[in-house]
Structure 1
């Protein structure tokens, strides 16, 4: 008779302490709905500025200030709905409210689109005069500069308004993907050789693929892939719609390609983008093949299957860690960043910024949402593993970044390019690794920490770079008019996996379906930026180790700068120059050195 291992709880049955507290956003749904009505009224007042922005500097300033205020409120409304939907996508009320918030966002975007259009109708000379006349406009210097850089790609005011009005429709591929994953997709349980019946969800699969039990890993993978396969054509259609939308918009805006359009938004050059992908794919592959062969040898496997890639190398030395223990460890590790940063971390860990419950309908993966004017919110699923501790540190890095940026910048200057976004988060992971190593002189502990560090690099330099390479291929094919189908996506995915892993990993057809796991394909050129952030944090963390406080101060200045600088200049604040591939090669070489040490530890 089968034994049922565990049952995933409904959201209402999980402990409150394991969930986030959304009361800073809104005390209840009634207050949220009241704010929706208030936003609609204030939006009407903001639209009264239409046609008058060129009349005076003070008029332009007042309009921008009121837009900022409204956008802050809209962000709270959107965040409240989105977080509830992420926590339980099976709840019809959450689904409805998320849709309502998306509709409000579309209305606001459409209604305020006149602001950028009217500014661009002015000459740069006149805007310069306004900046001299009204000191308050100085906060908008970079925003105005960026806007004029974009002028060549702006459409008529009427067209921009129509496109903004359709934003809810434009975002629907991502919504459909997420809704399907959290609400409709269900996985069959699987039975292991000992007769145990294991439940399976998106979140649970992340735990099973790291199991030391080969039987569990491979049977979980088979059950997981079986379900993905049933949805592949729908998901391919959804992703194809997203890609086609971007291809059409790039042509409308007179960009040479989708890639150029998306990089323009990030303020990243093509050279920086291709350097990141090409350098890591070429130089990291030999190291990761060594790692795969080492894993096959240590685990005693005849072949290393794709489902075995995340198997622990030293399963007997992987003690469980509670959330409270991990929180204390992370706080100790991040003290080096100074009292202000440490206090932000403490508040996040003690004041329910983190939702760590495992419940039905919860979104998979981890993220940090940071609405301006409110504290950040972190979503993850806690499985009592040390890998969770690194994920927690990672998301707290995002939180610390945006708290510091929010304290020092206006809402329009808070968010930097995505190219920099993953640097603060991966910095926290680097500091956590260093701290654990310093605490112990145990050789086995050192090996274990190296494995955790490799987990960080695997996630950012392997998983996300392979996603980034698939994106690069898909955009190239789409612009040639090639239909984006499930067959094409699976073939391209398998081809790039084979090119990267060579004969070190046994790939099956199911590996080609892994493009269905991540939402990043609906977020523009996001995946490759993980590696850019980790490249910068690797360099900066080594400087902190060598220099101490001066390097810490430089890094904090970059965090506080928010979005006031382009990403290459922001990273230069931390003394990291990403204009060449040198920092990337050094980061890859560092990964190689970790694998060198790991190989020695097993001999």
Structure 2
């Protein structure tokens, strides 16, 4: 029986304040109706968008104002669903907005079609009597890059009309994972029976030093995953097939080319991240696995043991104490950035309690026109403070971008999106090490910092390597069955861990654990972000304020320029493989430091 709290039993201060989006559910319902009416009103501009410069500017302003309102509405139902996916009202509201969004997308599908009919020369002429159009230049640059792959307007309209169906794989995955999956309770080393859930496993049991609990929990976890493997394989196969089909329809050579163009990233940038880290980080992580095996006194290192900490002190932290540490650490980022973080920590931007139906992991949602919302589950482990800093890295980034950029230029490429978040983790870790009152505490922080690299350079990197294999198989016409997907993940794990970890067949079920596969080529971008953050953190350590100011200027750009341009503005050469190798070498130095501390 699940002993976790129901959503209405969680203390208010541990939940986010959704009234900042809509004061009541009735207000949400009213806005949904208003947006459907507004969409019909905007549809009356069809054929008239570019009659002259002022009319085009007015149409763009109205369209993006409408888009911001729709984004806030979608965020509202998404956050409610993430907080408690078992609630029937949340499920119904989510479905209602999905249906409305599909209707709206269909109604307004003409908008981008008409804009794509323009060319650079025509746009320049329209700008002559509407100077405000210049601010939309970055938007048009991205739009024009997609022109060769645009389908007939009626085909585009059909795709928009089917958006709810096309997004069904992700909906089914999350609903099954969070609302349907049940896990058998498990025993710890004392013989006590404790509750088990997806969230509890990933946030607590997977990283406990209690080997009995850790391995029993993994048994329970993988048994439930195994029971769902065929359903999840069908859902994921549908997601991949959809992506391949759309890429083919649009005339791309591969699904990878299609997905990377939306990130404004070259295949060289993509493959460098996967190939260099997979090959060159492996020896360091194999060393780390052996160090853990010895420190934990294990006869063998299994996949279930990889997240167990070496540190025996098990330092704990409260949310309140963590707030103060984060605020002190991030003073280096200057008053404007610091004020954003302070406001978020003190005004319920964060949902950190635990309850049945709550989403696993952590995320930051930043709809344009309001503040960010952060989801995580607080367990008390010191790792939580790094997770909180990570998500506030997203919040600080998007609040700055929102302040300085229009919605059309707001969101940067996925390739860059994890750089500001992982940057905060590095700044906080260095602060905690400098202020550690004992060598044991320094060792603890080093291990937690290593977990940041593990999460981004191992967990998500291996997902990226695996995803590349999946798309290659799909494009070769091979069926993606549960056994195929599991074998591919096992192959990926074996190639990385070699003999340092004793793997078995069930470890391949790891492909079922993450939702990132339903967001295009997302997983590999974590390593890209951390590669950039590692380089910039070193700049800040060496230069101080000039490097901070340069970084803040990058964050304020939002998505106005390409990810490569953003990274170059930060004075990092992402096309140089040595940039990635330097980050890998830094991870190796952390493993060496931990080895030395463990001997002492």
| 1:290 lines up with 2:304 in the alignment | no
Correspondence for 1:440 among 436, 439, 457: 436
What SS class does the counterpart of residue 209 from structure 1 fall into? helix
Q: Which residue pairs with 1:463 in the alignment?
A: 459
TM-aligned CA deviation for residue 508 of structure 1: 1.6
| 1:575 lines up with 2:571 in the alignment | yes
Correspondence for 1:85 among 78, 81, 86: 81
| 1:593 lines up with 2:589 in the alignment | yes
Unmatched 5+ stretches in structure 2: none
TM-aligned CA deviation for residue 120 of structure 1: 1.6
Alignment of structure 1 residues 239-318 onto 2, 5 Å: 239-315=236-312, 317-318=313-314
Alignment of structure 1 residues 96-107 onto 2, 5 Å: 96-107=92-103
Q: Which residue pairs with 1:227 in the alignment?
A: 224
Mapped to 2, the partners of 1:183 and 1:389 lie a distance apart of: 28
8 Å contact 2:86–2:357 — kept in the other structure?
Answer: yes
What SS class does the counterpart of residue 231 from structure 2 fall into? helix
Correspondence for 1:322 among 318, 325, 338: 318
Q: Which residue pairs with 1:556 in the alignment?
A: 552
| 1:214 lines up with 2:211 in the alignment | yes
8 Å contact 1:422–1:529 — kept in the other structure?
Answer: yes
Q: Which residue pairs with 2:136 in the alignment?
A: 140
Q: Which residue pairs with 2:52 in the alignment?
A: 56
Correspondence for 1:150 among 140, 146, 151: 146
Correspondence for 2:478 among 465, 477, 482: 482
Mapped to 2, the partners of 1:191 and 1:348 lie a distance apart of: 38
Mapped to 1, the partners of 2:440 and 2:316 lie a distance apart of: 16
Q: Which residue pairs with 1:367 in the alignment?
A: 363
8 Å contact 1:272–1:580 — kept in the other structure?
Answer: no
TM-aligned CA deviation for residue 406 of structure 1: 0.3
TM-aligned CA deviation for residue 123 of structure 1: 3.1
Correspondence for 2:490 among 478, 489, 494: 494
Q: Which residue pairs with 2:389 in the alignment?
A: 393
What number of residue pairs does the alignment pair up?
A: 598
Q: Which residue pairs with 1:73 in the alignment?
A: 69
Q: Which residue pairs with 1:178 in the alignment?
A: 174
8 Å contact 2:189–2:210 — kept in the other structure?
Answer: no
8 Å contact 2:184–2:196 — kept in the other structure?
Answer: yes
> Cα deviation per residue 1:244-284 (whole Å; 9 max; x = unaligned)?
00000000000010000000000000000000000000110
Q: Which residue pairs with 1:515 in the alignment?
A: 511
TM-aligned CA deviation for residue 76 of structure 1: 0.8
TM-aligned CA deviation for residue 193 of structure 1: 4.9
Mapped to 2, the partners of 1:199 and 1:405 lie a distance apart of: 42
> Cα deviation per residue 1:193-221 (whole Å; 9 max; x = unaligned)?
53311111111002001111100000000
Mapped to 2, the partners of 1:463 and 1:342 lie a distance apart of: 30
> Cα deviation per residue 1:448-491 (whole Å; 9 max; x = unaligned)?
11101100000000000000011000000000110111100100
TM-aligned CA deviation for residue 131 of structure 1: 2.2
8 Å contact 2:5–2:355 — kept in the other structure?
Answer: yes
8 Å contact 2:178–2:359 — kept in the other structure?
Answer: yes
| 1:237 lines up with 2:234 in the alignment | yes
Mapped to 2, the partners of 1:98 and 1:74 lie a distance apart of: 13
User: Closer, same or farther in 2 for the Cα pair 1:594/1:193, shift >3 Å?
Assistant: closer
Correspondence for 1:19 among 2, 7, 15: 15
Unmatched 5+ stretches in structure 1: none
Normalising by structure 2, report the TM-score: 0.99
Mapped to 1, the partners of 2:280 and 2:188 lie a distance apart of: 39
8 Å contact 2:187–2:212 — kept in the other structure?
Answer: no
Q: Which residue pairs with 2:344 in the alignment?
A: 348
Mapped to 2, the partners of 1:581 and 1:123 lie a distance apart of: 36
Q: Which residue pairs with 2:104 in the alignment?
A: 108
RMSD, matched Cα: 1.0
8 Å contact 2:188–2:210 — kept in the other structure?
Answer: no
> Cα deviation per residue 1:433-457 (whole Å; 9 max; x = unaligned)?
1101111363222211110110000
TM-aligned CA deviation for residue 169 of structure 1: 0.9
What SS class does the counterpart of residue 418 from structure 2 fall into? helix
What SS class does the counterpart of residue 527 from structure 1 fall into? coil
Mapped to 2, the partners of 1:218 and 1:438 lie a distance apart of: 35
8 Å contact 2:302–2:501 — kept in the other structure?
Answer: yes
TM-aligned CA deviation for residue 133 of structure 1: 2.6
Alignment of structure 1 residues 534-545 onto 2, 5 Å: 534-545=530-541
Q: Which residue pairs with 1:452 in the alignment?
A: 448
TM-aligned CA deviation for residue 97 of structure 1: 0.2
8 Å contact 1:554–1:574 — kept in the other structure?
Answer: yes
Mapped to 2, the partners of 1:599 and 1:101 lie a distance apart of: 52
Q: Which residue pairs with 1:379 in the alignment?
A: 375
8 Å contact 2:185–2:196 — kept in the other structure?
Answer: yes
Mapped to 2, the partners of 1:132 and 1:417 lie a distance apart of: 30
8 Å contact 2:330–2:427 — kept in the other structure?
Answer: yes
Normalising by structure 1, report the TM-score: 0.98
Mapped to 1, the partners of 2:427 and 2:188 lie a distance apart of: 39
TM-aligned CA deviation for residue 54 of structure 1: 2.9
Mapped to 2, the partners of 1:112 and 1:56 lie a distance apart of: 20
